[in-house]
Amino acid sequence: GDSVTQMEGPVTLSEEAFLTINCTYTATGYPSLFWYVQYPGEGLQLLLKATKADDKGSNKGFEATYRKETTSFHLEKGSVQVSDSAVYFCALSEWYSGGGADGLTFGKGTHLIIQP
Amino acid sequence: DGGITQSPKYLFRKEGQNVTLSCEQNLNHDAMYWYRQDPGQGLRLIYYSQIVNDFQKGDIAEGYSVSREKKESFPLTVTSAQKNPTAFYLCATAGLTRGGDEQFFGPGTRLTVL
């Protein structure tokens, strides 16, 4: 079955540091890949996505590139802020030839803490 | 406002009682999903529905039931058969077009069984 593995936290960085959160996946088909962010007590918000190999998703200074050869989708940001403190989830979705997709498969989440 | 509504935000129940969590959407999305979130476990799929009057079990459906009588609504019932129901429950929707299969999440309901 499908699976997503991401680095476990907490990850603690100083403000303006460079961020990388690793994510690798196993899938039977050709999945879409996502990064979601969750702030305390809230639901998940889509941060960025990529639907095919070599696509780069980007949003709010965050980037991730769909690497089919290494089955990876690492999240990066050049200069983090205190407001980036949250839990980040990597996820994939398989699309079926008959149309439609079932639920997302999530990694366990990475808790990011940015210190001023 | 367009979006997904989950109510209530916090829910307390006694052990052995069934409880129903509400999820309503006005995004006109075909698919709706229920996930359970436990600390350090990520999100796990309970049930999903891609069309009215049809739904499928996810990875952890035991002890839960759902219905999809309207496109806008997908309530989840946590039954007394669920052995450890205390968790954060998230409802999500998706439009189900290729390249647009990202899911949109509601604010969640935190269920505590006493």
B39 CB-near residues (< 8 Å, 6+ apart): none
Residue A47, token pair as written in the block: 């941060």
A69 CB-near residues (< 8 Å, 6+ apart): none
Look over chain B and give the mean of its residue pLDDT values, rounded to a whole number.
Answer: 91
Average pLDDT over residues B4-21: 92
Residue with tokens 């593995």: A5
Q: Which residue in A has a C-alpha nearest to residue B58's C-alpha?
A: A103
> What is the spatial distance between Cα A49 and Cα B10, in angstroms, rounded to a whole number?
31
Helix (H/G/I), strand (E/B), else coil: A64: strand
The tens digit of pLDDT for each residue in A3-35 reads: 999 988 899 999 999 999 999 999 988 888 999
Distance from CA of B6 to the nearest CA of A (A): 10
The tens digit of pLDDT for each residue in A43-101 reads: 999 999 998 899 999 999 999 999 999 999 999 999 999 999 999 999 998 866 555 56
> What is the spatial distance between Cα A104 and Cα B6, in angstroms, rounded to a whole number?
19
Average pLDDT over residues A97-107: 71
Q: What pLDDT sits at residue A101?
A: 62
- Give A45's contacts in chain B (Cβ within 8 Å): 105
The tens digit of pLDDT for each residue in B65-74 reads: 999 999 999 9
Whether A102 sits inside 8 A of B45 (CB atoms) is yes
> What is the spatial distance between Cα A114 and Cα A12, in angstroms, rounded to a whole number?
6
Q: What pLDDT sits at residue B100?
A: 57
Distance set, CA B12 to CA B8, B54, B57, B60, B74 (Å): 10, 29, 25, 21, 20
pLDDT at residue B97 tops 70: no
Tell me the residue ranges of DSSP E strands in B1-114. 4-7, 10-13, 19-25, 31-37, 43-51, 54-57, 64-66, 76-78, 87-94, 104-105, 109-113
Average pLDDT over residues B47-70: 94
At residue B26's C-alpha, the angle toward residues B23 and B27, to 5°, is 110
Distance from CA of B12 to the nearest CA of A (A): 16
